[in-house]
Amino acid sequence: MDTKNIKTIGDLKKAGYKSRSIREELRANLVTKLSKGETSYEGVLGFDDTVIPDLERAILSQHNILLLGLRGQAKTRIARLTTGLLDDYIPVIKGGDLNDDPLSPISSSAIDLIAEHGDETPIEWLSAEDRYVEKLATPDVSIADLIGDVDPIKAATLKLPYSDPRVIHHGLIPRSHRSIFVLNELPDLQPRIQVALFNILQEGDMQIRGFKLRLPLDILFIFTANPEDYTNRGSIITPLKDRIESQILTHYPVSLDIAKEITTQEMRVAEQAKKMITVPELLKDLLEMIVFEARESELVDEKSGVSARLSISAMENLISSAERRAIINGEKTSTARISDLWGIIPSITGKVELVYEGEQEGSYTVALLLISAAVKKLFLSLFDHPDKAIKLEDKDPYGTLRAWFGAGNEVDLLNHATDKAYKTILADIPSLKKLIERYQPEAEHSELLMEFALHGLAETEVISKEFLQRSINFSDPLANMFNQLDN
């Protein structure tokens, strides 16, 4: 429809415009997309076989929706992307209090305008982006915020009694007429406010300071909630939950590959850093495994969840750690290292809720434990366990390394070592390169794998690892023990 030439209700009627509800609109546009094989939620990864089909079924059923899941599971993003199923533009009465349909107005102001001007009543066009309203539920949200209140100034100016609907100042929900209204963290809303919501959902009426107003609002409600909120901060009252027709459970990525896709898609990295720093797949896997370990750790509160934002901000910090090192060393390009992972600790400590035992350990220690657990798990997926390797029929692949460290040799990997110095230090460790050639002959970034092997051997207790102020020291555990006794 050519919106430029349609400026009045009369023009709209001549163009053959037919009104439809927002649910009919969403349903029709979804049917069109599905028939063409197009995706409804571009950029939402990992939900193709779970969440998105449930969403599409709910929209086809013309349901209100509750997205239930832990933090960082793309609930708000899903809600915002639902605007992609709206028409590009819809007509509204110009000067009306609400987004009134020109052919079916509901506000007193719009009805008065049509009564005065008839088919010459001016209209304007509302875009899909302007038909999205979002509100975060907090304990201080009031009925006036969401539904409205009597405006005494308007009553006095217009010389109207408080019983006249024209004195009402409409809240967010009435102003969302013919739109998508999203209420985040629903359990945080006070029960008495929730009661007002289910009247709107079911009966279509509102009560403002004892004045009952019936408005046939046309709104798709999308609510979000965290399961933890049901016990910690509040609950969704049963009558309201009963009126939300579809409850859809979200979840975290189920595989490393999906998790890596999400991180790559969402991270914000300066173009200069992208050109300067290479992040090998091994490090990408390791970073995501740290997040998976956090979600399974007994020290982290499982009910709180571990947001996907952890891996996103951790990747940004990992790249920045390598970039800072390269800038300090005057290097134009560099590759991220295992030792750069210690730069992601601030991304971990601020994004995990610890149980009592974790709080006793301290957030920094827990972050180190998560990194260590991920290193060990990935190491054992790529290399033989050193204890089992001794029993191999051929020569122990770790034998030369055990002997070299056992002879009192140590390795100091400086945090800000130049690429040349880093490679030299690793190349001087006997049989370390041969170990990589044996287990990962086709792998790129052999120096990274060599460093990773040292960390893996430390996690399997073949050698010891100590964090110093400017370096990581690898040595024989027994030699370390004797040195401590001597001191």
Q: Does 72 lie in the same domain as 211? A: yes
Q: Is the pLDDT of residue 231 over 50?
A: no
Residues contacting residue 151 through CB under 8 Å, at least 6 positions apart: 167, 168, 169
Domain count, the chain: 3
Q: Does 346 lie in the same domain as 311? A: yes
Region for residue 68 given its phi and psi (left: phi exceeds 0; alpha: psi -120 to 50; beta: otherwise):
beta
Q: Does 344 lie in the same domain as 394? A: no
Instruction: Say how far apart CA 277 and CA 286 lie, in whole Å.
Output: 17
Tokens (6 digits) for 415: 């945090």
Residue of 349, 355, 331, 485 whose CA lies nearest to 419: 331
Q: Is the pLDDT of residue 486 over 60?
A: no
Tens of pLDDT, residues 431-484: 999 999 999 998 889 999 999 999 999 999 999 999 888 899 999 987 655 455
Do residues 64 and 244 touch, judged by C-beta distance below 8 A? yes
Instruction: Say how far apart CA 99 and CA 87 lie, in whole Å.
Output: 14
Q: Does 243 lie in the same domain as 138? A: yes
Say whether 170 sits in a helix, a strand or coil.
Answer: strand
Q: Does 356 lie in the same domain as 274? A: yes
Do residues 297 and 351 touch, judged by C-beta distance below 8 A? no
Q: Is the pLDDT of residue 389 over 90?
A: no
Q: Which of 332, 357, 381 is the last residue of a domain?
A: 381
Pairwise pLDDT comparison (214 vs 431), residue with the higher score: 431
Residue of 479, 485, 483 whose CA lies nearest to 464: 479
In sequence order, the β-bridge partners of residue 472 are: 413, 467
Range of the domain at 30: 3-249
In sequence order, the β-bridge partners of residue 249 are: 68
pLDDT of residue 485: 45
Pairwise pLDDT comparison (202 vs 335), residue with the higher score: 335
Tens of pLDDT, residues 275-304: 999 999 999 999 999 999 999 999 999 888
Tens of pLDDT, residues 110-151: 998 999 999 999 999 999 999 999 999 988 888 888 887 767
Instruction: Say how far apart CA 407 and CA 390 lie, in whole Å.
Output: 19
Mean pLDDT of the chain: 89
Do residues 337 and 322 touch, judged by C-beta distance below 8 A? yes
% residues pLDDT > 70 (the chain): 90
Tens of pLDDT, residues 405-426: 999 999 999 999 999 999 999 9
Instruction: Say how far apart CA 219 and CA 287 lie, in whole Å.
Output: 42
Write the CA distances from 319 to 212, 337, 375, integer angstroms. Answer: 58, 10, 18
Residue of 111, 95, 211, 98 whose CA lies nearest to 161: 211
Tokens (6 digits) for 435: 């170990």
Q: Does 337 lie in the same domain as 203? A: no
Q: Is the pLDDT of residue 3 over 70?
A: yes
The per-residue DSSP string of 329-370 comes to TT-S-EE--GGGGGGGHHHHHTT--B-HHHHHH-HHHHHHHH
Instruction: Say how far apart CA 39 and CA 246 lie, in whole Å.
Output: 20
pLDDT of residue 106: 87
Q: Is the pLDDT of residue 192 over 60?
A: yes
Pairwise pLDDT comparison (194 vs 278), residue with the higher score: 278
Q: Does 95 lie in the same domain as 21? A: yes
Name the phi and psi angles at 390, rounded to 5.
Answer: -60, -30
Q: Is the pLDDT of residue 204 over 70?
A: no
Residues contacting residue 139 through CB under 8 Å, at least 6 positions apart: 188, 189, 190
Q: Does 293 lie in the same domain as 226? A: no
Q: Does 367 lie in the same domain as 238? A: no
Q: Is the pLDDT of residue 205 over 80?
A: no
Rg (CA), the chain: 31
Q: Does 261 lie in the same domain as 322? A: yes
pLDDT of residue 487: 47
Instruction: Say how far apart CA 134 and CA 155 lie, in whole Å.
Output: 29
Say whether 278 sits in a helix, a strand or coil.
Answer: strand
Q: Does 346 lie in the same domain as 389? A: no
Say whether 182 sits in a helix, a strand or coil.
Answer: strand
Q: Which of 381, 416, 441 is the last residue of a domain?
A: 381
Do residues 79 and 222 touch, judged by C-beta distance below 8 A? yes
Q: Does 362 lie in the same domain as 240? A: no
Q: Is the pLDDT of residue 232 over 70?
A: no
CATH number, domain containing residue 41: 3.40.50.300
Tens of pLDDT, residues 154-169: 666 766 665 566 667 7
**CA angle 238–244–250, rounded 5-degree value:** 100
Q: Is the pLDDT of residue 49 over 60?
A: yes
Instruction: Say how far apart CA 182 and CA 470 lie, in whole Å.
Output: 49
Instruction: Say how far apart CA 101 and CA 114 lie, in whole Å.
Output: 11
Q: Is the pLDDT of residue 33 over 90?
A: yes
Q: Which of 381, 410, 436 is the last residue of a domain?
A: 381
Helix (H) / strand (E) containing 87: none
